[in-house]
Amino acid sequence: MRKAIVTGGAGFIGSHMVDYLIKKNYSVIIIDNLTGGHLKNLRHLKKKKIKIIKKDIRNLDIKDKVFKGTKYLFHFAGIGDIVPSIERPKDYMEVNVIGTINMLELARFHKIKKFVYAASSSCYGLAETPTSETHIIDPKYPYALSKYQGEQAVFHWSKLYKLKADSVCIFNAYGPRVRTTGAYGAVFGVFFKQILSKKPLTVVGDGSQKRDFIYVTDVAKAFYHVAKLKSSGNRFNVGAGNPIKILKLVKILNSKYEFIPKRPGEPDITFANIKKIKKYTKWRPSISFKDGVNEMLKSINNWKDAPLWNKKTIKKATSTWFKYLK
């Protein structure tokens, strides 16, 4: 069988990447330290041909023969969330930059055919929209900076060492298994737990802000299409190209809500210009926002163990955000 490596393969997007590769008849190696990702994301794959290496991406043996003969390496592993990155910037630089460099070296040593990096649209900052790949880079917090610097390492290895490598810049990915950590973050995890607890949804600002939500299976397909390209050193934006108001999400969820203060350093709109990836590949977003949300609602009980947030706890959790980004 053809072989692929997925770092962060037990996490949100990574686990869907694994699903897609298995459907494409790949043997998959997952590299994950299982702190951000969760084994429950992989329970449905018990009988499939996957190998899980429980290690930190900074501490891999470059000569490990398990990587020999790998065709594609999809690099999702890293640490996310805005506030923790402001509080612990060194950790983010070490994992998201040095960890990426270690994976690039592993790919170079084993002559892997293609390295595809998961970049973040947060590198664009408060960008003009629709945002193209050539837009000015303006990271507002260490997470965004670390993801951008990791991407720059990818391009450097591509240019200097002739490693076939591209970057996929993800906008607002959502879908089953979306991350819910102890940190205040992703809107779906917050809202779903509030619905389960019969609490009002906490809507930031007046809810008129828009986000370019892209369903996670569409993201996985985009990565695969980019992997098949013979190109190297390219960034491809991946979004739906159709920004959605947060109040539209609230309407679909049909729940009571209340407003909380708008946060500094957050864009009023994210909007991916996806002309480039559509030009280079046959990829197109295929899941509508309403269909994607309704699919998630079928398994809403998966968020029963997510942290429950309210006005008071959100204010406390985001105090660092307001301190440094105001």
Q: What is the dihedral of CA 309, 312, 317, 322, to 10 degrees?
A: 130
Compute CA distances 320 → 72, 88, 267, 316, 325, whole Å.
39, 11, 18, 8, 8
Give me the amino acid identity at 143.
Y
Burial of 94 (0-12, 13-18, 19+ CB in 10 A): middle
Tell me how far apart the alpha carbons of residues 116 and 227 are, in angstroms, rounded to a whole number: 6
SS3 for 192? helix
Answer yes or no: 174 catalytic: no
Tell me how far apart the alpha carbons of residues 75 and 69 are, in angstroms, rounded to a whole number: 17
Say which of 72, 124, 141, 143 is annotated catalytic: 143
Residue 68 DSSP one-character state:
T
Tell me how far apart the alpha carbons of residues 185 and 80 are, in angstroms, rounded to a whole number: 9
Give me the amino acid identity at 80.
G
Q: Report which secondary-structure segment, H or E, holds 50.
A: strand 50-53
Phi, psi of 87, rounded to the nearest 5 degrees: -80, -30
Residues 6+ away with beta carbon under 8 Å from 156: none
Name the packing angle between helices 187-196 and 246-253 (round to 10°).
Answer: 30
State the pairing for strand pair 244-245/210-211: antiparallel
Nearest residue to 80 via CA among 141, 18, 131 = 141
Which residues are catalytically annotated? 143
